[in-house]
Amino acid sequence: MEGPPVTIDELLEQLADLIADRVALRLNGGNGGPAPVTEPDRLLTPAEAADRLKVSRRFVYAHRKALGGVALSKRALRFPEAAVARYLARRP
């Protein structure tokens, strides 16, 4: 494999082009088309989160930060379904 000597600047430019192409591909959904549309995460009430976790509502309120609790108002607390699922997956 003999050929003309390649300078470090040429290699860096080729690498930069490859990285730019890879980033553009990922930003465009991986196949060159538009990015996939994702549905927003469903928000669970404290009772629903407690039911999924098989714990009391008191536990859910006490661990709201670990469960990703979101205060919608002073009286409304909700939990992203995906955050509750991640918490469940981490439990022994």
pLDDT per position in the chain (92 positions), as tens?
455 667 887 777 888 777 877 777 777 766 655 555 566 788 999 999 999 999 999 999 999 999 999 998 888 999 999 999 999 988 87
To the question of pTM greater than 0.75 for the whole model, the response is no
Round the CA-based radius of gyration of the chain to a whole number and report it: 24
Say if CB 68 and CB 60 are below 8 A apart. Answer: no
